[in-house]
Amino acid sequence: MRIGELAQACAVSRDTLRFYEQRGLIAAQRSANGYRHYPADMVQLVLYIKTAQRLGFTLGEIGASVAALWQAQDPDCAVTQLLQDKLNLIETRMTELDALRHELKQRLGQRCPLNP
């Protein structure tokens, strides 16, 4: 399929697909005239990338894991582990942010330490 067809099937722009390709997340074959041609299973990959982004994964994280997922014996198990790892990271960050919020609330109303 050509880039326009893939963009339409995935509800993304052509620029998004070009960006994903520049980042190494997807790959296209080039025809003699330079047009990009994507295999049909590229739709599944692009939709995975979009979903992963929506779930808070960075493109770097997606790029680091996508090859392993594609080749995994049990992709469901591999995705479950990625999601669990991300959830653990988010929960840790939430705990850190809660502590930061508490400290900021305590400092409200205190004198500025820079005032003599």
- Cα within 13 Å of Cα(96), Cβ side: 6
CB 10 within 8 A of CB 43: yes
| Residue 14 pLDDT > 90 | yes
| Residue 116 pLDDT > 80 | no
Rounded to the nearest angstrom, the gap between the alpha carbon of residue 57 and the centroid of all alpha carbons in its chain is 4
At residue 109, the pLDDT reads 83
Q: What is the pLDDT of residues 51-89, one digit of tens each?
A: 999 999 999 999 999 888 878 999 899 999 999 999 999
**pTM for the predicted model, two decimal places:** 0.80
At residue 53, the pLDDT reads 96
Place of tokens 């995975």: 48
Place of tokens 């296209």: 28
